[in-house]
Amino acid sequence: MMRNDEKKRIGSLNRRQFLKRAVAVSGAVALPTFIPASALGRDGSVAPSERIVMAGIGLGNRGTGDLRSWILPDKQAQFVAICDVRRERREAIKSMTDKNYNNTDCKTYIDMMELLARPDIDAILTATSDRLHATVSIRAMRAGKDVYTEKPASMFIAEGQAVVKAAKQYGRVYQAGMQRLSEANFIVCNELLRLGRLGEVKTVYAHLAPWGNVNMSRDWLPEQPLPDPNELDWDGWLGPCPWRPFNLQYTRGGWHHQHDFYTSVIGEWGSHTFAQCHDALGMQNSSPIHYPYVANPTADGMAMPFANGVTMIQKQEGWRGTCGVRYVGSEGWCSCADGYARPEVSNPAMLADYNKILQDYITRTGHLVGPMNDFFKCIKNRTVTVANPELMHRSMSTVHCANIAQWLKRDLTWDPVKEEFVNDEQANRFRSRAAREGWQIC
């Protein structure tokens, strides 16, 4: 209600003066207002309301590379927060982000649940070591966030199942960091198999990392004094893994080749190369059915047949680059690895229409070249990524099954429908691991 003195004062103003006074007092927009083209996305930029708001959880060297190369330069996204249990990493990511955007807006968190409680965040990038990928992904999806997680994306079979379940239950877009599925040279290599240009394919080869041991260490490093939790939150770093005394070396790469933290030499590259083979063969929803024990430290040469009769063999040698695949058919072969501009083929004519093969793939599948490009497109369209939860889980199940066969030193038979080992109670116990109190996800 308007007071009497206000009525008298307004009555003494002419109409033009009243309108000016009203706008100044109320802040209302009564006259046409200039809005920059950049705010509407008309100058080739992306309007703020259309940007994908992202945050990071656990960004070490790999995650920093993802952020620097794929997210910060992309106008579709806005990176706003970093959670890391290490202060040095929080500060490094904030500094890089603020410098990129020329502001001081990037927020820092120690507890991932505080970051995930923010309603403005659409998606998260997580690049912890192996031990936390699935835990972070599931917590994020439960909080309504889409997820891009680095690989290997599960530590054991039940964890992969839980990721698949969470993505479905909460309707989230999920992409695992098996980025070669989105690289042109690997795409064309897979297409040569799918299009039948190799003839009947009975054998595929997956590159195995040439180091380490499937039987990883269970020893503890010497205990050191616990740091200030603001400097390094040791409980948060361990996550669901069994407790052990603090040693700084774990957080500086010493988690590698430790049973509690690592998916073994098989998971190191198999998380990429197995996924490539699964995808090329149309085995996105299945895994090999037999895992023969191989009497060497890395399981080099293990031949794993699928139910369709195609055998995948993991090999350490045979490629010039890293993380390679090789497909052998009745009409020829093709091979690809990091550093190959195009696949190597038995007959150069196979690649005469290289660009058309790639474009036809994009048209047919809707997937884009570039892993973050595909992720962002799927977020906007609410579609399934190329490195989706099911493909991640099934190819990582292959990693885990191969590990278990080597740990038990015997051949194992796997039922990919029931997702259990056939008539082997001991092997089936390895499908899951206990999590520390407060960290259970499955």
What is the DSSP code string of 328-353? Answer: EETTEEEEE-TT-SS-EESSGGGGTT
Contact 336, 186 (CB under 8 A): yes
pLDDT at 48: 73
Q: Could you tell me which residue, 61 or 44, shows the higher pLDDT?
A: 61
The architecture that CATH gives domain 46-179 is: 3-Layer(aba) Sandwich (3.40)
For residue 79, what are the β-bridge partners?
A: 54
Residue 17 has pLDDT above 60, yes or no: no
Percentage of the chain lying above the pLDDT 90 cut: 87
Query: Tell me: the pLDDT tens digits for 326-336?
Result: 999 999 999 99
Q: What are the structural domain ranges in the chain?
A: 46-179, 180-214+262-429
Distance, in Å, from the CA atom of 130 to the CA atom of 267, rounded to the nearest integer, reads 9
Beta strands in 303-415 (DSSP E): 303-305, 311-315, 325-329, 332-336, 344-345, 412-415
Distance, in Å, from the CA atom of 61 to the CA atom of 41, rounded to the nearest integer, reads 33
pLDDT at 49: 75
Angle, vertex CA 280, rays to CA 189 and CA 162, nearest 5: 135
Give the mean pLDDT of 248-277.
Answer: 97
Distance, in Å, from the CA atom of 341 to the CA atom of 320, rounded to the nearest integer, reads 12
Q: Could you tell me which residue, 20 or 38, shows the higher pLDDT?
A: 38
In terms of CATH, what superfamily is 180-214+262-429?
Dihydrodipicolinate Reductase; domain 2 (3.30.360.10)
pLDDT-derived band of residue 13, with 50, 70 and 90 as boundaries? Answer: very low
Q: Could you tell me which residue, 34 or 122, shows the higher pLDDT?
A: 122
Distance, in Å, from the CA atom of 229 to the CA atom of 285, rounded to the nearest integer, reads 42
Q: Do domains 46-179 and 180-214+262-429 have the same CATH topology?
A: no
3-state secondary structure of 299: coil
Give the mean pLDDT of 237-264.
Answer: 97
Each residue of 299-336: b (16+ CB within 10 Å) or e? bbebbbbbeeebebbbbbeebeeebbbbbbbeebbbbb
344, amino acid identity: E
Give the mean pLDDT of 178-198.
Answer: 98
Nearest to 315 by CA among 328, 331, 332, 306: 328
CA distances from residue 211 to 26, 99, 264, 294, 301 in whole angstroms, order as listed: 69, 38, 10, 16, 14
pLDDT at 47: 74
Global model pTM greater than 0.95: no
pLDDT-derived band of residue 45, with 50, 70 and 90 as boundaries? Answer: low
Give residue 46's region: left, alpha or beta (phi > 0; psi -120 to 50). beta
404, amino acid identity: I
Residue 16 has pLDDT above 60, yes or no: no
Give the mean pLDDT of 80-91.
Answer: 98
Distance, in Å, from the CA atom of 262 to the CA atom of 265, rounded to the nearest integer, reads 9
423, amino acid identity: N
Q: Do strands 420-421 and 412-415 pair parallel, antiparallel, or not at all (unpaired)?
A: antiparallel
Residue 35 has pLDDT above 50, yes or no: no
Per DSSP, helices labelled H in 117-248 are 133-142, 157-170, 184-194, 234-238
pLDDT at 212: 86
| DSSP for 17-34, written as a single string | HHHHHHHHHH----S---
The rounded Cα 50 to chain-centroid distance in angstroms is: 22
Q: Could you tell me which residue, 86 or 45, shows the higher pLDDT?
A: 86
Cis peptide before 210 (omega within 30 of 0): no
Distance, in Å, from the CA atom of 57 to the CA atom of 65, rounded to the nearest integer, reads 14
